[in-house]
């Protein structure tokens, strides 16, 4: 009994010192508490924040009432502002956490989404999550609109389930983050919910058959005229992709939609398509979902693949002979307007 009372007294004393000491990093006073600046200390979890301040180390409780909309990740050595108050349990509690960083707005597709289970991995920053899944590591952006109410504050090593959509900046953006579940990864395509399988392209893949290497084995998936390849215009061996698939009436698995898991580092450009040039050649090594290396009689060309490229229903594969109609872009690249098999 004596130890418990002593402990409460010590916590109360530390609280008074922090709130009234001139050396404490106090920013402002509000009805909800006092805002303190500090640095996140290693050992912080999703329910306890260890904060290094000018007055020493603080232990601050995080709970369902903590507003983390301005700081969804707590990473060691990050500088943050924390509004604190003393709870009925004699601990300091955080009412709000902020990292003071501005974010670049992007439009996010919230209609065509996918959900993946994984772990917050090393390399993660306050705005970009490195997300370790069973089939590889993804980079997913955090926005002020990301809903983290189902999982609380995020920390390295935390297992979560992320629902994401593609942004206008070509990054995947987290729409909602929940505690990790045992449910399968799914995606909605044309109003239908179906498995969205993550894997890498197998070496035997063609424009009509995709061999997808997953953590559970290799899948054989048909690619047909109904497959949406707008998010992945090339199928290159070892390339990481997502495949929304369903079982067809022919008993084969069919791809409803294929999406590249690689980031598009290219910015959008205006393309002059009024006087297109037509070339023939072979898809060469170095090709990605966003740029094609085309081997021609005059040498190898680099041609951008963008959202407006008409693939005529077939993805590119290495060694394929194609005819390309291209125009010149404002980014100084040639852009493919249309690609068809020869």
Pick from 173, 179, 198: nearest CA to 187: 198
Q: Are strands 48-53 and 56-61 parallel, antiparallel or unpaired?
A: antiparallel
Please give the structure tokens belonging to residue 214: 């997953």
Please give the structure tokens belonging to residue 174: 């987290």
- Asked if residue 228 has pLDDT above 90, the reply is yes
The better pLDDT of the pair 22, 152 is held by 152
C-alpha–C-alpha distance, residues 130 and 125, integer Å: 8
Which residues make beta-bridge pairs with 38?
A: 80
The mean per-residue pLDDT over the stretch 188-196 comes to: 85
Per-residue pLDDT, 32: 56
Per-residue pLDDT, 15: 47
Per-residue pLDDT, 178: 87
Is the separation of the CB atoms in 146 and 153 below 8 Å? no
Q: Which domains does the chain have, with CATH numbers?
A: 2-98 (2.40.50.140), 114-179 (2.40.50.320), 186-260 (2.40.50.140), 271-341 (2.40.50.140)
Per-residue pLDDT, 30: 36
Per-residue pLDDT, 4: 44
Per-residue pLDDT, 103: 59
Pick from 269, 265, 267, 247: nearest CA to 256: 247
Going by pLDDT thresholds of 50, 70 and 90, the confidence category of residue 101 is: low
Instruction: Using CA atoms of 146, 135, 260, 123 in order, give the dihedral in degrees to the nearest 10.
Output: 50
Is the separation of the CB atoms in 120 and 158 below 8 Å? yes
Per-residue pLDDT, 327: 94
Question: Rg of the chain over CA atoms, in angstroms?
Answer: 26
The mean per-residue pLDDT over the stretch 162-167 comes to: 87
The mean per-residue pLDDT over the stretch 195-211 comes to: 90
Is the separation of the CB atoms in 16 and 55 below 8 Å? no
- Asked if residue 12 has pLDDT above 50, the reply is no
Count of Cβ atoms closer than 10 Å to residue 125 Cβ: 13
CB burial readout 221-245, b (16+ within 10 A) else e: bbbeeebebebbbbbbeebbbbbbb
Residues in the chain: 342
In eight-state DSSP terms, residue 267 is: P
Is the separation of the CB atoms in 64 and 73 below 8 Å? no
The mean per-residue pLDDT over the stretch 37-60 comes to: 90
Q: Please write the tens of the pLDDT for every residue from 292-307.
A: 999 999 999 999 998 8
pTM strictly above 0.95: no
Per-residue pLDDT, 161: 86
- Asked if residue 90 has pLDDT above 80, the reply is yes
């Amino acid at each position: 009994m004596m130890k418990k009372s002593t402990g409460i007294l010590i916590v109360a004393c530390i609280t008074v010192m922090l709130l009234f000491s001139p050396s404490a990093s106090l920013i402002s006073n509000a009805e909800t508490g006092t805002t303190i600046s500090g640095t996140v200390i290693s050992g912080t979890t999703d329910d306890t924040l260890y904060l290094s301040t000018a007055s020493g180390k603080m232990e601050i409780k995080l709970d369902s009432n903590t507003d983390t909309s301005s700081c969804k990740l707590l990473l060691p050595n990050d500088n943050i502002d924390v509004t604190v108050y003393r709870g009925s349990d004699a601990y300091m509690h955080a009412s709000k956490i902020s990292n003071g960083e501005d974010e670049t707005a992007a439009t996010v597709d919230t209609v065509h989404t996918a959900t993946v289970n994984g772990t917050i991995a090393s390399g993660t920053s306050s705005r970009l999550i490195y997300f370790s899944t069973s089939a590889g590591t993804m980079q997913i952006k955090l926005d002020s609109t990301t809903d983290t109410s189902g999982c609380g504050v995020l920390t390295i090593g935390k297992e979560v389930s992320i629902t994401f959509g593609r942004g206008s900046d070509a990054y995947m953006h987290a729409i909602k983050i929940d505690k990790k579940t045992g449910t399968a990864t799914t995606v909605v395509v044309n109003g239908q919910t179906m498995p969205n399988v993550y894997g890498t392209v197998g070496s035997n893949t063609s424009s009509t058959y995709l061999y997808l290497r997953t953590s559970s084995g290799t899948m054989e998936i048909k690619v047909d005229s109904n497959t949406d390849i707008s998010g992945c215009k090339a199928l290159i061996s070892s390339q990481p992709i997502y495949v929304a698939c369903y079982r067809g009436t022919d008993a084969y698995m069919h791809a409803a939609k294929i999406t590249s898991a690689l980031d598009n580092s290219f910015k959008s450009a205006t393309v002059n398509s009024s006087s297109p040039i037509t070339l023939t050649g072979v898809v060469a090594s170095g090709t990605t979902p966003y740029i094609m290396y085309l081997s021609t009689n005059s040498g190898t060309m680099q041609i951008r693949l963008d959202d407006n490229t008409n693939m005529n229903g077939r993805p590119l594969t290495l060694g394929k002979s194609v005819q390309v109609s291209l125009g010149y872009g404002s980014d100084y690249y040639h852009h493919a307007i249309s690609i068809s098999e020869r």
